[in-house]
């Protein structure tokens, strides 16, 4: 195959975790093959064209790393490309689960060349929470972390062994934080809304209890613990304290939990049936505070497209999950417009931190890294339409909501994809 000519992205505002370049002094990003060669100040695009370069004029838009989406339930290329996602960490909750090396190996190769999938190995066989899965072989097959999936491992002895084994292999453990003894079959957070709707509900403390135990086990084992979603003030306070005490812990959240409270369920909207469930307004504000002060390390889409057969049911019977890949970037940019965070923090939350947790060389625009680049028009307005989404299903709680910010072009390994 003939190698692609070099790529030069001109007139862009380069975004990284330590700042963004001035619009008055646009930067050029130079790529050779599938790698970033470096950056330079504005040069004449005619000269690069004469040298045989492919030239993309960013026209003053933001040039940022391709998004690394930490924790998706379905590989959905059209939705990922629309949303500026070039790498996705696949949750082990598949059919069958990712609890066997061959399944992990297949998942790791599935999206190439225009999307890289980083499988998360099941912590236990069948995700049943009893017998440990063969993590070492799954790491060799391409697993970048170990995960408990949508469930919490109730047996503390099993969870400690999972963490000890993962620590020995230098693999992060990614957990779901809901104490199953309290949560049971609940579909909502206990409070006024759940009471009015007559929904099975669990106290918000179910999250904090799960986090408290897992933090103690992480401190005992020395493992890097990543709590995929922390959605309550009590849970965030525990994470904040553990970080200050030196525990190797990071945590994430999805946009739904900083944009919506349980009021969004008031008309039995099953698109707002999520796991963990939507919380109170006080907890939503706590999540926003944690995004601002750095307690939360990652924003992920939790992409889980569900069709009518899963969502057009009574609320308690509907499957949890939302199609989140296409709205991940604009909803995160909304935090910038609200004055909560700056653009460099967006880059950290969506790109650099997820890549660091997974141990992959991505999430930054630096020499030698793969040329995964998103060109983003941060001011472009658009309206979410669940009937016209690129995802396999349009189950979004943000249907008909006006947003700002959209990917104008996406490059994976220096080759333009999607769009």
Q: Is residue 277 part of a domain?
A: yes
C-alpha torsion 344→346→350→355, nearest 10: 20
pLDDT band at 93 (very low <50, low <70, confident <90, very high): very high
pLDDT, average across residues 54-80: 95
Residue 20: the pLDDT is 81
Of the candidate ranges 62-71, 251-260, 263-272, the one whose mean pLDDT is the lowest: 263-272
Cβ atoms within 10 Å of 45's Cβ, excluding its own? 16
Q: Is residue 35 part of a domain?
A: no
Residue 41: the pLDDT is 53
Residue 51: the pLDDT is 61
The Cα 255–Cα 328 span in angstroms is 7
Of the candidate ranges 13-27, 206-220, 287-301, 342-356, the one whose mean pLDDT is the lowest: 13-27
Q: How large is the angle between the packed helices 205-221 and 156-168, nearest 10 degrees?
A: 50
Q: For residue 396, what are the contacts with CB-CB under 8 A and spacing of at least 6?
A: 271, 322, 323, 324, 326, 327, 384, 386, 389
Q: For residue 137, what are the contacts with CB-CB under 8 A and spacing of at least 6?
A: 101
Q: Give the CATH number of the domain where residue 201 resides.
A: 3.20.20.140
DSSP 216: H
Q: Give bridge partners of residue 63 from the DSSP assignment.
A: 14, 375
The Cα 372–Cα 31 span in angstroms is 10
Range of the domain at 308: 66-358
Residue 17: the pLDDT is 82
Residue 299: the pLDDT is 98
Residue 52: the pLDDT is 72
Q: How many domains does the chain have?
A: 1
Residue 24: the pLDDT is 64
**Residue 192 clears pLDDT 50, i.e. is over it:** yes
> Strand order in 298-299's β-sheet?
67-72, 85-90, 116-122, 145-147, 173-175, 225-227, 249-253, 298-299
**Residue 42 clears pLDDT 50, i.e. is over it:** no
- What separation in angstroms does the CA of 53 have from each of 6, 23, 147, 286? 5, 23, 43, 48
Q: Is residue 307 part of a domain?
A: yes
Angle at 394 between CA 389 and CA 400, to 5 degrees: 75
> Using only C-alpha atoms, what is the Rg of the chain?
21
pLDDT band at 21 (very low <50, low <70, confident <90, very high): confident
Contact (CB, 8 A) for 319 and 310:
yes
pLDDT, average across residues 263-270: 92
Q: Is residue 376 part of a domain?
A: no
- What separation in angstroms does the CA of 247 have from each of 17, 220, 227? 23, 9, 13
Q: What are phi and psi of 323, to 5 degrees?
A: -80, 105
Residue 50: the pLDDT is 42
The pLDDT tens digits of the residues spanning 293-334 come to 999 999 999 999 999 899 999 999 999 999 999 999 999 999
Mean pLDDT, all residues of the chain: 93
Q: Is residue 115 part of a domain?
A: yes
Strand segments, DSSP code E, in 123-241 are 145-147, 173-175, 188-189, 201-202, 225-227
C-alpha torsion 164→167→171→174, nearest 10: 50
**Residue 43 clears pLDDT 60, i.e. is over it:** no
Q: Is residue 346 part of a domain?
A: yes
pLDDT over 70, % of the chain: 96
pLDDT band at 47 (very low <50, low <70, confident <90, very high): very low
Cβ atoms within 10 Å of 366's Cβ, excluding its own? 12
Long-range pairs for 388-391 at CB < 8 Å and ≥24 separation?
389/79, 389/323, 389/326, 390/76, 390/78, 390/79, 390/81, 390/82, 390/326, 391/76, 391/78, 391/79, 391/303, 391/305, 391/323, 391/325, 391/326
Nearest Cα neighbor of 29 from 375, 348, 393 is 375
Residue 16: the pLDDT is 86
pLDDT, average across residues 178-185: 93
**Residue 141 clears pLDDT 50, i.e. is over it:** yes
Q: How large is the angle between the packed helices 205-221 and 233-244, nearest 10 degrees?
A: 20
The pLDDT tens digits of the residues spanning 342-382 come to 999 999 999 999 999 999 999 999 999 999 999 999 999 99
Q: Is residue 120 part of a domain?
A: yes
- What separation in angstroms does the CA of 253 have from each of 1, 264, 267? 41, 17, 24
Q: Is residue 6 part of a domain?
A: no
Of the candidate ranges 17-31, 102-116, 128-142, 342-356, the one whose mean pLDDT is the lowest: 17-31
């Amino acid at each position: 195959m003939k190698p692609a000519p070099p790529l030069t992205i001109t007139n862009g505002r380069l975004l990284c975790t330590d700042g963004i370049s001035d619009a008055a002094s646009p930067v050029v990003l130079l790529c050779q093959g599938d790698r970033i060669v470096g950056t330079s100040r504005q040069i004449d695009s005619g000269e690069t064209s004469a040298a045989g370069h492919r030239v993309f004029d960013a026209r003053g838009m933001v040039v940022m790393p391709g998004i690394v989406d930490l924790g998706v339930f379905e590989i959905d290329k059209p939705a990922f490309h629309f949303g500026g996602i070039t790498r996705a960490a696949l949750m082990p909750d598949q059919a069958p689960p990712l609890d066997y090396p061959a399944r992990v190996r297949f998942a790791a190769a599935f999206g190439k060349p225009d999307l890289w999938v980083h499988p998360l190995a099941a912590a236990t066989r069948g995700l049943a929470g009893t017998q440990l899965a063969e993590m070492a072989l799954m790491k060799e097959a391409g697993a970048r972390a170990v995960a408990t999936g949508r469930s919490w491992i109730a047996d503390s002895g099993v969870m400690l062994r999972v963490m000890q084994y993962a620590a020995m292999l230098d693999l992060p453990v990614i957990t779901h934080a809901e104490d199953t003894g309290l949560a049971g079959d609940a579909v909502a957070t206990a409070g006024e809304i759940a009471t009015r709707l007559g929904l099975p509900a669990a106290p918000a403390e179910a999250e904090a209890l799960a986090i408290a135990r897992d933090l103690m086990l992480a401190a005992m084992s020395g493992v890097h613990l990543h709590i995929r979603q922390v959605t309550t003030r009590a849970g965030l306070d525990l994470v904040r304290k553990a970080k200050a005490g030196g525990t190797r812990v990071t945590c994430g959240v999805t946009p739904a939990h900083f944009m919506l409270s349980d009021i969004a369920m008031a008309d039995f909207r099953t698109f707002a049936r999520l796991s963990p469930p939507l919380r109170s307004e006080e907890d939503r504000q706590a999540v926003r505070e944690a995004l601002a002060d750095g307690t939360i390390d990652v924003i992920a889409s939790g992409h889980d497209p569900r069709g009518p057969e899963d969502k057009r049911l009574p609320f308690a019977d509907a499957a949890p999950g939302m199609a989140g890949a296409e709205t991940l970037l604009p909803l995160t940019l909304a935090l910038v417009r609200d004055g909560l965070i700056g653009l460099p923090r967006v880059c950290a939350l969506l790109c650099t931190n997820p890549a660091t947790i997974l141990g992959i060389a991505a999430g930054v625009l630096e020499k030698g890294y793969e040329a995964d680049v998103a060109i983003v028009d941060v001011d472009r307005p658009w309206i979410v339409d669940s009937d016209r989404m690129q995802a396999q299903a349009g189950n979004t709680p943000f249907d008909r909501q006006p947003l700002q910010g959209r990917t104008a072009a996406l490059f994976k390994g220096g080759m333009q994809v999607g769009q």
